[in-house]
Amino acid sequence: MCFLSRGKMPEGPSMTIGNGSDSPPSLRRCDNPWKRNAQHGQSEVYRRMLGILNRVTEQSLTILLEQAQELPLADPDHLPHVLALLLDKAQDEPLFAPIYARMCRDLAARVGFQDNLTAACESHFTESYNLLLQYADILEGPISSQLIHEEILARKRFVGHLKFMSELHKVGVMSSNQVVAMAETLLEHGDDRSLEGLCRLLSFSGLALSRTNEAMIEQSCTYLENRLVDGSLSPRLRFLIQDVLDLHANGWRPRGGGRIHPPPGRNVRG
């Protein structure tokens, strides 16, 4: 084992940069430098909106909202892609759904795309729900770990979308009738995935719906009680139903009067 002595460190070979002189090297300019192409404005708006959503928190919401308002979000060339981005981010990050909903509320009021947003939410609900229902038939065949992973991911995203629509309802972007229509759709199917979706939606929106649609709440809870006693459910779904019924009995407030903590801050690079 060899150690270097504490004496003078050996000098490496001398290196000459550029033309060998002491003056700093000159940069060669490209003959055809990159310039923003007007045809790619859509991708630029998408990139900037994605950066805003990646950084938004409770503390930065006001500042980033002003930056979002400067973008041509209502332009027909940009709006579908921006709405798809909002839905994807909200369903994949349910902890930030309340913040995304407030941003959508303020942007819809100032930019004017509330009707487009609610229509996109309803369309996305239908698509993601139909995709989830397809797994009931797919999983009847050969099952792989990849297929199970895809089904779990689809279920999580569907629940995330329900959470986002519930938050949009709380801030006044979506109407009670729109949320009730989703609950009625879930009630029509007796499969486990629809049952889970109904439980999640009630846990998210039960308090708000109880003020305007108590009959629908009672109908849903009666349905859950009947499913609970039939003995055909998995333990996970039984516990999920019982939690919803306990929330309903306690005025849709968590046990012990607990509060829902705000989402954590984001670690933003740069």
* CATH number of the domain residue 161 falls in: 1.25.40.180
The candidate with the shortest Cα–Cα distance to 164, out of 120, 224, 226, is 120
Conformation bin of residue 255: beta by default, left when phi > 0, alpha when psi is -120 to 50: beta
Q: Are residues 162 and 62 in the same domain?
A: yes
Residues of the domain holding 186: 176-260
Identify the three-state secondary structure at position 96: helix
Tens of pLDDT along the chain (270 residues) come to 444 443 443 444 444 434 444 544 444 444 444 344 444 444 789 999 999 999 999 999 999 999 999 999 888 889 999 999 999 999 999 999 999 999 999 998 888 889 999 999 999 999 999 999 988 888 777 888 888 899 999 999 999 999 999 999 999 999 999 999 999 999 998 789 999 999 999 999 999 999 999 999 999 999 999 999 888 899 999 999 999 999 999 999 887 655 445 565 665 433
Q: Are residues 50 and 166 in the same domain?
A: yes
Retrieve residue 217's tokens: 């709440």
Q: Are residues 65 and 164 in the same domain?
A: yes
pTM over 0.85? The answer is: no
Q: How far apart are CA 20 and CA 14, in angstroms?
A: 11
Q: How far apart are CA 264 and CA 55, in angstroms?
A: 12
Tell me if 48 is assigned to some domain.
Answer: yes
Q: Are residues 144 and 194 in the same domain?
A: no
Q: How far apart are CA 250 and CA 262, in angstroms?
A: 22
Domain count, the chain: 2
Q: Are residues 200 and 250 in the same domain?
A: yes
Q: Are residues 48 and 164 in the same domain?
A: yes
Q: Are residues 240 and 118 in the same domain?
A: no
Q: Are residues 114 and 74 in the same domain?
A: yes
Q: Are residues 153 and 183 in the same domain?
A: no
